[in-house]
Amino acid sequence: MKNLKGLLIYPPAQLMKQERARPDGSLGLIYLASSLESKGIETDILDASVGVAEHNIQNTFYNPIKQENGLVRIGMEFEDIANYIKKKNYNFVGINSNLTPQTRMAFETAKAIKQLNPKIPIYAGGVNARALNKRFLETGHFDAICLTEGEIIFPRAIIEGVENVSGFAYKDKNGKIKVNQVDETCFPENLDDLPIPAWEKLPLDKYGQIASPHGVDVTGKSNHRYAPIMTSRGCVWHCTFCHISTEKENIGKLRTHSIERVLEEMNGLKSLGIEKLFFEDDTLLTRKKRAKEIFSKAREKEFLIANVNGVNLIDFYNKKDWSIDIEYLEILKQAGYEQIVFPAESGSQRILDKYASGKVKLEKMDLPVLMKTMVNMGIKAPVNMIIGFPDETEEEIQKTIDLGKKLKENGAPYVSFFLPIPFPGSKLYDIAIKGNYLNRDFNPDMMNWKRAIMTNTFVPPKRLEEIRDYANELVNDKDFIKRAVQNTIGYKL
């Protein structure tokens, strides 16, 4: 095999001008890079939103350029990405596309690369690319789309040819779209079999300067170097608005790394000078004993915790009598969580059961009391609520607003009301397409949280936007509305 060299790319980002740009910091490409390298394939990573070493983030990440679609774009110019690939003689390119609102960025990146270098194979993967694989291939800029996790099958596709490997949609020699279905050969037997992700290939210095892991602002808090970590994959819940609802069988199943492996990863991160961790697990807090062990290791290693993804309120209760698990909250507080998001989701049990796995049980879980308890313990708990599911009535929405109000009265710093977005890859997307709430030819540029994305909903979309704005104003303090709602949560356009 000749010496192969590939470049994995996080494309530039597009956002609404009021939206806060967030550096990527996801784990897909660093897992792929270490897997490719373990098979002898040299691999680099380019986060085009911040650029390479010679770029100053003032000219990339902090340089918003207005586009025709009304959104602003940050990051490298597409032509510069193409020139960089040509100059460095890469043999193949892999593009990450997890986020539907960023679809155009993935397409433009691939287009510019193919224009300058028509022969170079371009692969894409990630939740969005696999859900929209046909759309991706039909642009003519991509050669193959990975339909699942890529660590095992991507190196094989590079070495053996994509047509010989399960888990890819690709164009054959005649330009016809072919699909090699996902099967058990795509996955490791044990999560620990995957090589340790190649964090050292991420622009950690640039991320440190931006100081906003996962959008959580840590500026002014002494610019700690941070990194994402994932100690498990998958989830025990299958909420319709999450991709796991359609990927229950493989990617969605909860699989965990051993504690020894987590410790090995922490040691590696320490040696890279990382001080703060962002846990990206979909449901880290569910297995309490394991989570406690992980937090105690993180403490021993003197890591700070930036935040955690995938919080579920049910984990803060003792299941046998539905009392609040104070000991667990105490452990989280000691682990360094000054803030834990509070996903109350809805005040309607019917909506919770139908769309959110019924994991909030309003009869058993007294959420205002939980809020008060957390506040008394010194834990800040900003609330997230969702209103406007396809068949949700105004009465049901009112229950959510009422619950939000109560949570605010019990000490929530603020309550954010969001409209649900039927992201491709989720069950809600399937419901939306089938129920005619979303046109199959929808424009991904429009899939952001400011707008009601679904049409024909029981409460019409314009009315939903009005109610959302009304609820955010009614429940929150004036200064919060000024500072945060208008800028981050969604408000009148």
Which span (123-131, 313-321, 325-333, 347-355) binds ligand B12, by CB under 6 A? 123-131
Least distance between ligand B12 and beta carbon 277 (Å): 13
Site for ligand B12 in 375-414 (CB under 6 A): none
Name the E strands within 5-149.
5-10, 13-15, 42-47, 65-66, 72-74, 92-96, 122-125, 144-146
Residue 151 sits in the site that holds ligand B12 (CB under 6 A): yes
Contact 372, 411 (CB under 8 A): yes
- For the CB of residue 24, give the shortest distance to ligand B12 in the complex, in Å: 5
The correct pick among 78, 84, 90, 123 for binding ligand B12 (CB under 6 A) is 123
Question: CB of 49 within 8 A of CB of 303?
Answer: no
Q: What share of the chain is helix, strand, coil (3-state, %, to 5)?
A: 40, 15, 45
Residue number closest to ligand B12, CB atom:
125
Give how far Cα 297 sits from Cα of 10, 158, 259, 279, Å.
Answer: 31, 37, 9, 13
Considering only residues 314-343, where is the footprint of ligand B12 by CB under 6 A? none
Query: Is 276 one of the binding residues for ligand B12 (CB under 6 A)?
Result: no
What 8-state DSSP symbol labels residue 244?
G
- Per CB under 6 A, the list member of 146, 340, 360, 401 interacting with ligand B12 is 146
- The nearer residue to ligand B12, 125 or 410, going by C-beta atoms, is 125
Smallest gap, in angstroms, from Cβ of residue 31 to ligand B12?
4
Distance CA 309, CA 343 (A): 11
The residues in 198-217 that bind ligand B12, with binding defined as CB under 6 A, are: 214-215
Q: Which of 11, 12, 24, 403 binds ligand B12 (CB under 6 A)?
A: 24
CB 61 within 8 A of CB 21: yes
- 22-30, 65-73, 260-268, 392-400 -> range binding ligand B12 (CB under 6 A): 22-30
Report the residue number, 393 or 486, with the smaller CB distance to ligand B12. 486
Q: From the list 101, 208, 388, 404, which residue makes contact with ligand B12 (rule: CB under 6 A)?
A: 101
Q: Please identify, using beta-carbon distances, which residue of 24 and 315 lies nearer to ligand B12.
A: 24
Q: Does 481 bind ligand B12 (CB under 6 A)?
A: no
Is 128 a residue that touches ligand B12 (CB under 6 A)? Answer: yes
Pick from 4, 15, 159, 433 the residue near ligand B12 by CB under 6 A: 15
Q: Which is nearer to ligand B12, 124 or 415 (CB)?
A: 124
Give the integer Cα–Cα distance in Å for 170 and 413: 48
**Of 20-28, 179-187, 350-358, 365-373, which part binds ligand B12 (CB under 6 A)?**
20-28
Strand partners, 171: 177
The reply on whether position 156 binds ligand B12 by CB under 6 A is no
Within 10 angstroms of residue 193's Cβ, the number of other Cβ atoms is 11
* Rounded Cα distance, 292 and 335, in Å: 9
Q: Smallest gap, in angstroms, from Cβ of residue 235 to ligand B12?
A: 8
| Integer Cα distance of 193 and 187 in angstroms | 10
Element (H, E) at 277: strand 276-279
Cα distance between residue 73 and residue 374, in whole Å: 39
Q: How far is the CB of 395 from ligand B12 (least distance, A)?
A: 26
Is residue 425 near ligand B12 by the rule CB under 6 A? yes
Q: What is the chain's alpha carbon radius of gyration, rounded to the nearest angstrom?
A: 22
- Single out the residue of 12, 51, 75, 125 in contact with ligand B12 (rule: CB under 6 A): 125
Residue of the chain from 107, 136, 154, 317 that contacts ligand B12 (CB under 6 A): 154
> Does 100 sit near ligand B12 (CB under 6 A)?
yes
CA distance linking residue 50 with residue 31, whole number of Å: 20
C-alpha–C-alpha distance, residues 179 and 379, integer Å: 49
Only one of the segments 66-74, 91-99, 397-405, 407-415 lies at the binding site for ligand B12 (rule: CB under 6 A); that segment is 91-99
Based on the number of CB atoms within 10 Å of its own CB, is 472 exposed (0-12), middle (13-18) or buried (19 or more)?
buried
Number of helices followed by number of strands (H, E) in the chain:
16, 18
- Among 41, 45, 99, 453, which residue interacts with ligand B12 (rule: CB under 6 A)? 99
Nearer to ligand B12, 128 or 373 (CB): 128
Which of 63, 117, 309, 455 is close enough to bind ligand B12 by CB under 6 A? 309
**How far apart are the C-alpha atoms of 221 and 223, rounded to whole Å?**
6
> At closest approach, how far in Å is the CB of 27 from ligand B12?
4
Contacts with ligand B12: how many residues (CB under 6 A)? 40
Which residue's structure tokens are 């603020």?
Answer: 414
9: exposed, middle or buried (Cβ count in 10 Å: 0-12, 13-18, 19+): buried
Q: What residues make contact with ligand B12 under the rule CB under 6 A?
A: 15, 22, 24-28, 31-32, 94-96, 98-102, 123-128, 146, 149-151, 154, 214-215, 230, 242-243, 280, 282, 309, 423-425, 449
